[in-house]
Amino acid sequence: MLIAPSLLSCDFSRFKEEIERVDRAGADWMHLDVMDGHFVPNLTFGAPVIKKLRPHTEKPFDVHLMISQPHRYIDDFCKAGADIISFHTESDSDIDETLKLIEERGVKPALAIKPKTDIDIVLPYLDRLYMVLVMTVEPGFGGQSFMADMMDKVKRLREEIARRNLPTLIQVDGGIAKDTIRTAYEAGVDVCVAGTAVFGAPDAKEAIDEMKKLCQ
């Protein structure tokens, strides 16, 4: 299990130090939630902030675009240092064209789906995807409860990935903590985004280590 701490849950006044702290604690990726106040009812940060953070860790930047028109900003996020870019099937951008923009810039493409979206929408693109992100909360805010019924989507996706013999990863985001990560692992998840469970823990390394042990 890879753990990608969600920087949405960090202390924004100490952004650099928070990234360095979870890097030392054993984070595998850094998960960066970009929200536009339109696609979801919240605003976070954009490409200029990510560019400033990029020199402070060598860990992959996993950029999750919760924005209405991701195709307009792919170039900006690639230049800012994104290693993986996920965007939503429910956005206003053409999926095929947006994937092409990510692929052409040598960044790893991923598709994300909200809880009410059927997993079948990503299947036509599966051969091109580095990862599929299955939201286990309604996107927009941290600290929500894990939706265990989303594991049916994960299992369906895992079966299809295996059937096609693909290397595509499955990520979940929302409500991941010590009491839910095992459920995700058993369903076939490869990468867990964890916000409060890491940044709200007294010891981030201990929290990450414990979650990984629960997936063995």
- Give the C-alpha separation, 72 to 76, whole Å: 9
From 13, 22, 17, 3, select the one nearest 200 (Cα to Cα).
22
Crossing angle, helix 204-213 and helix 15-24, to 10 degrees? Answer: 40
Mapped onto helix, strand or coil, the DSSP state of residue 161 is: helix
Annotated active-site residue 190? The verdict is no
Terminal Cα distance for the chain, rounded = 8
Q: Token pair of 32, please?
A: 């960066």
- DSSP for 54-89? GGG--S-EEEEEE-S-GGGTHHHHHHHT-SEEEEET
Annotated active-site residue 173? The verdict is yes
- DSSP for 199-213? HTSS-HHHHHHHHHH
Residue among 33, 36, 62, 190 flagged as catalytic:
33
Strand 169-173, strand 191-194: pairing: parallel
Residue among 36, 62, 173, 190 flagged as catalytic:
173
The distance of Cα 171 from the centroid of its chain, to the nearest Å, equals 6
Catalytically active residues are 33, 173
